[in-house]
Structure 1
C-alpha cells in the first residue's frame, strides 16, 4: 500500500489492498480477544503482553477492553444488567414508553449506516481513546499507554513514509476492519429468535446456546475471523482458544446440534431492533 502511493498508482489500488489489510486486522482483533480470555497462549503473562501489543495495532487498550468484555460475558442476555460491551438493545415495552427523543436516538443508533459506518470510526478512533465506566487505575493507564504508543507509531510513520501516506492507508483499513468487527459482534447476538431474560430467570447455559449464534461462514472468512463464528461454544467456555473451536464443534454433539446462521440469513438481522418479552424473540420496529 505504501508503494502504491509512493509510485503514483491510482488510489483505488490502495483502497483495494485496504480490504485485504482490513481482513487481517479483523483476525488480529480476534487474537487480541483470545489474549483477553488468556486462551491464545499457555502463559498468562504472555497473553497479557501480546494482547497489549496487538491492542496498539487494533486501536484498543488491552486492560480497559478486557474489563468491559469480561463483564459482557457474565451479563450478556440479562435484561437487568445491559450496557457492558454489547449492542444497545431495548425491549418493545421500553421503546413504546420512551420519549420521542429517545426513540429517535435509538433508531439512529440502530441504523445500519450509523452502526457500521460511523460506529467503526467512533469506536476505534474516538471512543477507545477514553477509559470505560467505573474502571480502576490500571485500566486508565492502559488507555494512556496505548494512546501514547499509537502516537508513537504515527510519529515514526510521519518521519519515514510521511503522515499523509500513513493516514491514506490507516484510515480506510481501520474503518473497514471496524465495520467487519462490529458486524460480527452484531450477528453473534442479534438474530432471529435469540434469548434475553430478567435476572431472576437468566440462565447462562441458555444465554450461550440460544442467545449466541453459530455463524456459518465460508472457509476463507472463517479463517480471517479466527473461528469467532462458533460463538455459542465461546460463550460456553471462553478459555477454549479459537483454533480449538471447530474441533470442539465436531466432537461434542450437543454444541454440534446448534442450528447455524448462514451468511445469507444474517443479512436479515438488521431488521431486528427490539426484544419482545411477550413473544420471547427479536422483532422489528413497530
Structure 2
C-alpha cells in the first residue's frame, strides 16, 4: 500500500554524485600511479642538460668578452635561467622524486646548493615544515613570510603595521626579499629544536664551500 512517502531526490542525487566522484578518484589514482615512480633517465637528462647549458653559457660569455661586453651579458641571461632550473632540481631532490636513492638525491641537492646559494639539508627541513604547517595560523613555520590576521594587524602598533605593509608589497617581495633570503637568511641557521645539528651545520658548510 502506498504510504505517501516519496524518495528524496536530493539525497539520491548526492549519493550518485558521491559514487561518481569515488569512481573518478580511483580512475585518477590509476592514471597518476605511473608518475609516482622516479624515472632515472628523464631525471638524469634534466640534470645533465641543465648543468651543460649553464657551463656552455658561461663559456660563451667568457669568450665573447673580447668581442662585445653586451654580448657577454646576453649569454648570462640563459645562465641565470639555468640556476632557476637548478633550484627546481634541488627542490625535487628534497621531495625525493628524482631517484629511488635518497643518498644520490642528497648529493645532487648539495651540488645544486652551491649554485643556488641555498643550503640543501637546512632548506629541506624548512620546506618540509612549510608543507606541514601551510595555512595553519596556530603553527607558523620559519619558512613562511610574515602573515598576520586582521585582528593581529589591528592590534599591532602603527609602526609594525607600516612595516608589515611594506614587507608584503609586491615590489618588496620581488626586488628586496630574494636578496635578503639568499645573502642573509640562508647564511645563518636558526637555533630551533626543529633543526638537527647536522641541518644547522649544513648552512655553514655551504657558506664555507662558497667562500672557498
**Normalised by the size of structure 2, how large is the TM-score?**
0.65
Name the CA distance, whole Å, in 2 between partners of 1:2 and 1:111.
37
How far off its partner does 1:105 sit? 1.1
Unaligned runs of 5+ residues in structure 2 are 1-60
Q: CA deviation at 1:139?
A: 1.4
The 5 Å alignment of 1:109-120 reads: 109-120=167-178
Q: Deviations 1:78-119 (Å, cap 9, x if unpaired)?
A: 111123322222222221221111111111111222211111
- Give 1:40-79 correspondences, 5 Å limit: 40-79=98-137
TM-fit CA distance, 1:133:
4.1
Q: Does 1:146 align with 2:206?
A: yes
Deviates more, 1:26-35 or 1:85-94: 85-94
Contact 1:64 1:139 in 2 (8 A): yes
Which has the larger share of strand? 1
Return the offset for 1:2.
2.2
2:68 is the counterpart of 1:9? yes
Bigger relative contact order (CA 8 A; separation at least 6): 1
Matched residue pairs, number? 150
Distance 1:93 1:39, change over 3 A: same
Which of structure 1's runs of 4+ aligned residues deviate more than 6 A?
A: none
| In structure 2, distance between residues paired with 1:44 and 1:18 | 32
Q: Assess if the C-alpha contact under 8 Å between 1:69 and 1:84 holds in 2.
A: no
From the two aligned structures, give the one with the greater helix fraction: 2
SS at match of 1:85: coil
The 5-angstrom pairing of residues 106-185 of structure 1 reads 106-134=164-192, 135-152=195-212
User: What is the distance in 1 between the residues matched to 2:206 and 2:100?
Assistant: 24
From the superposition, tell whether residues 108 and 8 of structure 1 become closer, same or farther in structure 2 (CA, over 3 Å): farther
Structure 1: how far apart are the matches of 2:62 and 2:169? Answer: 34
Instruction: Tell me how large the CA RMSD over aligned residues is.
Output: 1.6
Partner of 2:76: 18
SS of equivalent residue, structure 1 residue 131: coil
Shift of 1:140: 2.1
Structure 1 residues without counterparts, runs of 5 or longer: 153-286
Q: SS at 2:139's partner residue?
A: coil
User: How far did 1:126 drift?
Assistant: 2.0
Determine the C-alpha separation between the residues in 2 that align with 1:104 and 1:81.
24
Normalising by structure 1, what TM-score? 0.49
Secondary structure, aligned partner of 2:184 = helix
Residue 129 (structure 1) shift:
1.0
